Chain A
Amino acid sequence: MKTIWLIAKRELNSFFDSLIAYIIIILFLGFTGFFTWISGSDLFMAGQASLQSFFSISYWSLFFFIPALTMRLIAEEKKTGTIEMLLTKAITDRQVILGKYFATLFLIMIALLFTIPWVITISKLGNIDTGGVICGYLALVLISAAYTSIGIFASSITNNQIVAFLSFLFIGLFFHFIFEIISGDMTGSLGKVINYLSVNIHFESLSRGVVDSKDLIYFGSIIFFGLFLTEVSLSKRNAFN
């Protein structure tokens, strides 16, 4: 546990030292803020004290910002060789992966925390559905956790950051909307399975304020498989584990 924390701390420091953290937070806030408050179909247009537009724009921005954070996690260490220096110390592959995973997730949480003032502002404008807002944030956190897990996997299969980024987009697009589109044309149990695989379906049901164990299991499985495959891919160098 202590080792995971050490790795996470180093990773967070490196996010902030390299300015990546600041840029991502500012971009995320600017991007979501613009579409929530200023653009054509914003809050004032709808005339409702609701965070729906914020959640749906966050859903898309996270999809692009998360791989920007995760692409370097392992790919860079593979390229510079520091992964070797790290893994020959008293540390396991899993600790390295989890440390990096939690650091990235923590940074995304910070970005999400900065949007709390908007919730407060909107709540002053009218009655908001508090439960719905909490569920919406929960959904964003779960999506971030799932995508970070896919992102770290994409980063572990290559030593080129661009390839890692594009691999994430390739895998992520299926979850993000392709599964949903495919399942729309399908009937029967296969259609149901593919529909279940779509992130958007679960995101929508969560952000409507319904917390279903089905959704939690879904996100939990993506996180688990992402991290598991990362470990497999890292051990491909032929380690014992």
Chain B
Amino acid sequence: MDIVIENLTKKYGNQTAVDNISLKVATGEILGFLGPNGAGKTTTMKIITSYIAADEGKVYIGGKLLADNYYELKKHIGYLSENNPLYHDMPVIDFLNFCAMIQDIEKSRIPDRVAEMIQLTGLKREQHKKIGELSKGYQQRVGLAQAIIHDPEILLLDEPTSGLDPNQIVEIRKLIRELGKEKTVILSTHILPEVEATCDRIFIINKGRIVADGTAESLRKQSQGSDILKVKIEDGEPEKVFKIIKALPSVSMVEFADRNLNRFEIHCTDKNVKREIFRLCVENKWVLTEMSPFETKLEDIFRNLTIN
């Protein structure tokens, strides 16, 4: 099932939480949903789950209008909300049974399905404890288990790895990747490496508006405009090296990263520039001791797009 959002707007009083957002998520796609606090991520997710209704705009899930078919469509959605609210007075296994029954899973399949979820999220030892007695990480696992217990076609995860230990984070990311092969996943998070590790596509919103939409690579390209190489050339006059490199046709700009250490930052428009630089070094008897492509961190892109 795919998700199509058209011109979604949601206001809380005077405040516009979501401002005219349009978005398409294809089946089998994992979308990383980024944005600073209060950007409207959670509101958008709540609208997709039909927990709240939008003021304007339409949401289609699997080609069906959400507003008319929300009861039917809710069965295909698994949702892990931000604060991960759970019934703290219920034992894990009872709670999962309850969720399975509410989600209308066939009665004969429930015990297997619950056992499978417990296995998958590593709750075997905790299954008879009350949820309120579990640590935050374990509660997060219960939250994830209840979201996927009915094998939904759409998975909405609001910060799924918060509170988990590093090993579990790796496992959960792997699980999300696995699930994302057949399902449509929207994953909201603040942890940027997580987005790179799990998502096919990144969607950044700020103050309710879309500011970026694309793969991690295309976003990088967009924000840099050109590739950057970090180069250290020894045994040469810095000024002379600077001039010669700048004269190359595929180099758009050269900067001194550190004049004393002969380090340069080279902005280039062509991938071949590395070979040319190497050739220049050989011709001029310079020693090339360092040459590495500079990658803009996703953090920087995020900051550039969301500050102001």
Contacts and interface: CB of A to CB of B under 8 A. Distances in A.
Given A237-B52, A238-B53, A18 B103 contact: no
Interface stretch (A84-92, A137-145, A183-191): A84-92
A192 interface: no
Q: For the side of the interface on B, what is the size category?
A: 20 to 34
A230 to B, nearest CB: 17
A100 to B, nearest CB: 13
- Best-surrounded residue of A17, A81, A88, A240 (most CB of chain B within 10 A): A88
Interface in A55-89: 80-89
B49 A88 contact: yes
Contact of A85 (B52, B53, B85): B85
Interface string B44-64: 001001111100000000000
A3 B105 CA distance: 12
B292 interface: no
A14 interface: yes
A81 B51 CA distance: 12
Nearest to B99: A89
Interface stretch (B24-32, B67-75, B169-177, B178-186): B67-75
Interface residues of A, number: 25
B67 A88 contact: no
Contacts of B87: 10, 14, 82
Contacts of B53: 238-240
Nearest to B74: A90
Interface stretch (B76-84, B195-203, B279-287): B76-84
B146 A6 contact: no
B85 A240 contact: no
Interface string A6-30: 1000100110011000000000000
A85 B70 contact: no
Contacts of A240: 50, 53, 67, 70
Contacts of A83: 85
B210 interface: no
A81 B49 contact: no
B51 A239 contact: yes
Contacts of A88: 49-51, 74, 77, 79, 81
Nearest to B10: A238
Contacts of B71: 90, 92
Contacts of B101: 2, 6
Contacts of A89: 74, 99, 102-103
A7 to B, nearest CB: 8
B81 A85 contact: yes
B98 interface: yes
A239 B50 contact: yes
Contacts of A84: 46, 51, 81, 85
A90 B52 contact: no
B165 interface: no
Interface in A191-241: 237-240
Contacts of A14: 87, 89-90
A239 to B, nearest CB: 6
A187 B85 CA distance: 54
Interface string B216-242: 000000000000000000000000000
Contacts of A85: 79, 81, 85-86, 146
- Best-surrounded residue of B51, B70, B83, B146 (most CB of chain A within 10 A): B51
A3 B89 contact: no
A238 B9 CA distance: 13
A17 B89 contact: yes
A86 B146 CA distance: 11
A34 B49 CA distance: 52
A81 B103 contact: no
Contacts of A237: 51-52
B60 to A, nearest CB: 14
B62 to A, nearest CB: 15
B104 interface: yes
A90 B102 contact: yes
Contacts of B50: 88, 239-240
Nearest to A79: B85
A156 to B, nearest CB: 16
26 contacts: A3-B102, A6-B98, A18-B89, A81-B81, A82-B87, A83-B85, A84-B51, A84-B81, A87-B51, A88-B49, A88-B50, A88-B51, A88-B77, A89-B74, A89-B99, A89-B102, A90-B75, A90-B150, A91-B102, A92-B71, A237-B51, A238-B53, A239-B51, A240-B50, A240-B67, A240-B70
Given A6-B101, A84-B46, A90-B103, 4 more contacts: A84-B85, A89-B102, A90-B74, A240-B50
For the complex of A and B, the 10 pairs showing the least CB-CB separation, nearest first, are A81-B85, A88-B49, A90-B75, A82-B85, A88-B79, A238-B52, A238-B53, A85-B85, A89-B102, A90-B74
